[in-house]
Amino acid sequence: MGGFGQQSLKNISQPIRVYRVKHAKRGDTALLAKPLLALPDKPSIAVLPFANLSGDKEQEYFNYGITEDIITELSRFSELFVIARNSSFQYKGKSPDIRHVGRELGVRYVLEGSVRRAGDRVRITSQLIDASTGAHRWAEVSIASSKTSLRYRMRSPAPLWPFLPLTFAKRRWSVRC
């Protein structure tokens, strides 16, 4: 908004202060910022699509399957607020600022990761990030043979779930691929 100062106008006896309002241009995100979502009253998490680092486009279904399985497993806990797949998948193929993702989706934590396939080996990395600070809270690397049934299992789930009651932190969960 810009000002033109005091201006004399036709049919008005005294000068008045005049302002100019700029309309937002298409793609001008600074002027069209989305309202921030409030954090829910229970622990909240978004699982972003795992990145395909193998370079093989045919493996993307495998990566998205891992992401969907993690979302499904987390959704089993009624104590968690888990963002739906469609909301998380808007970040597919992007490297967004996790703090922005947290504000946009209204979550405290974001889980992201990647999958690399080389020969018969699959390497899956995952990181839990505190969306309010951008700090990593936990990370895991799993390596398995793709010829066997890959079972992605957390060795120690307690660090991943600092926001869960102790009874849930002791549970182990797995995702079949």
> Mean of the pLDDT values across residues 28-36?
57
* Higher per-residue confidence, 146 vs 43: 43
pTM for the model stands at 0.67
In a domain, 129, yes or no: yes
In a domain, 11, yes or no: no
In a domain, 72, yes or no: yes
Single-letter code of the amino acid located at 37: L
Place of tokens 């182990």: 172
In a domain, 161, yes or no: yes
In a domain, 7, yes or no: no
Q: What is the pLDDT of residue 158?
A: 40
Number of domains the chain is built from:
1
In a domain, 90, yes or no: yes
* Higher per-residue confidence, 160 vs 13: 13
In a domain, 26, yes or no: no
**Of the candidates 40, 41, 44, 23, the residue with the CA atom closest to the CA atom of residue 32:** 23
In a domain, 28, yes or no: no
Taking only the tens place, the pLDDT of each residue in 124-142 is 888 989 999 999 988 888 8
Residue 170 is part of a domain; what is its CATH number?
3.40.50.10610
**Residue 60 domain boundaries:** 44-176
Q: Residue 105 to residues 44, 84, 120: CA-CA distances in angstroms? A: 10, 10, 36
State yes or no: pLDDT of 74 exceeds 80.
Answer: yes
